[in-house]
Amino acid sequence: MQTDTDPATTAIESAESRRDAALAGTRAIAPLATGLIPLALTVGATAARAGLPPLVGWASSATLYGASGQLTWIQMTHSGAPAALVVGATLLVNMQMLLYGAAMRRYWASTSRRWRVAAGFLLVSPVFAVATERFRTEHDPVRRRWFYLAAGLTLWTTWLAVTGIGYAFGGLPSLPVLATLSPLVILSLALRAVRDTATLAAMVVASTLAIVGRCTPYDIGTVAAGITGIATGLVVSRVAHTEAPPSGNAEP
């Protein structure tokens, strides 16, 4: 005997499912968003100390949306680097986003272009980390989208608010606690992203070169470190796949 499903009941259950997924996304990103507060304060205060107009400094958080790219743009602009070099360096620093997008393609392949553009804008390291972890066990595409949107928008709005506070109190980077916490936050995010040998190799190479080249003009050492780290990760990943034994059952 078949029972007709009440459309109203179905709609309510669907709404509750989306709400639960959104709440899960907010809860998943909340610890990371909280941990990024020292870094966001530092980014906002750096923009203020660089002498950027308030609207420009704060708007960079909304448009560039990423600590590494934003700091590169602020520092190089403040140092008087040529515009082409500033744009090129900022793009190169953000090349990691291409890797994140490629990894998320398997989950977004069936979605509209509008969704992919919007989702791509929110795709930064913490969101990528919580989304990929969740998507391993969540197979419903609608719930995946609501989880991702909630996580991404929560982090984005938090970043905008806190960088704005940092801009308003431009002396914050002088506080020892922020000078200590910001590198620790970056390190914790980097360690969270380590899932294989290729990622670890990329992080070690990039970190080493960034330290060695920290005194180069226009922050070129940081840019070179990022490019070399990505290249190292790709090479190690290719070598690992080449040396991996073929799948299938082995003969006894």
Alpha carbons 135 and 121: distance in angstroms, whole number: 19
Task: Report the distance separating Cα 38 and Cα 22, nearest Å.
Answer: 26
User: What is the 3-state secondary structure of the chain?
Assistant: CCCCCCHHHHHHHHHHHHHHHHHHHHHHHHHHHHHCHHHHHHHHHHHHHCCCCHHHHHHHHHHCCCHHHHHHHHHHHHCCCCHHHHHHHHHHHCCHHHHHHHHHHHHHCCCCHHHHHHHHHCCCHHHHHHHHHHHCCCCCHHHHHHHHHHHHHHHHHHHHHHHHHHHHCCCHHHCHHHHHHHHHHHHHHHHHHCCCHHHHHHHHHHHHHHHHCCCCHHHHHHHHHHHHHHHHHHHHHHHHHHHCCCCCCCCC
The residue type found at 243 is E
pLDDT in tens, 51-76: 888 778 778 888 888 777 788 788 77
**Angle at Cα 71 formed by Cα 26 and Cα 145, nearest 5°?**
25
Q: What would the mean pLDDT of 176-199 be, rounded to a whole number?
A: 53
Percent of the chain scoring above 70 in pLDDT: 69
Residues 60 and 43: beta-carbon distance below 8 Å: no
The span from the CA of 67 to the CA of 62, in Å, is 11
Alpha-carbon torsion, ordered 222, 232, 85, 116, to 10 deg: -110
pLDDT digits (tens, 9 = 90+) for 209-235: 767 766 766 556 666 666 676 677 667
Which one has a higher pLDDT value, 161 or 213?
A: 161
CA distance 171 to 143: 42
Q: How far is CA 163 from CA 81, 177, 185, 196, 252, in A?
A: 23, 17, 15, 32, 61
pTM across the whole model: 0.69
Using 50, 70 and 90 to split pLDDT, how confident is the model at 177?
Answer: very low
**Does the structure show a pLDDT above 90 at 148?**
yes
Residues 101 and 118: their CA atoms lie apart, in Å, by 12
Six-digit token string for 155:
């982090």
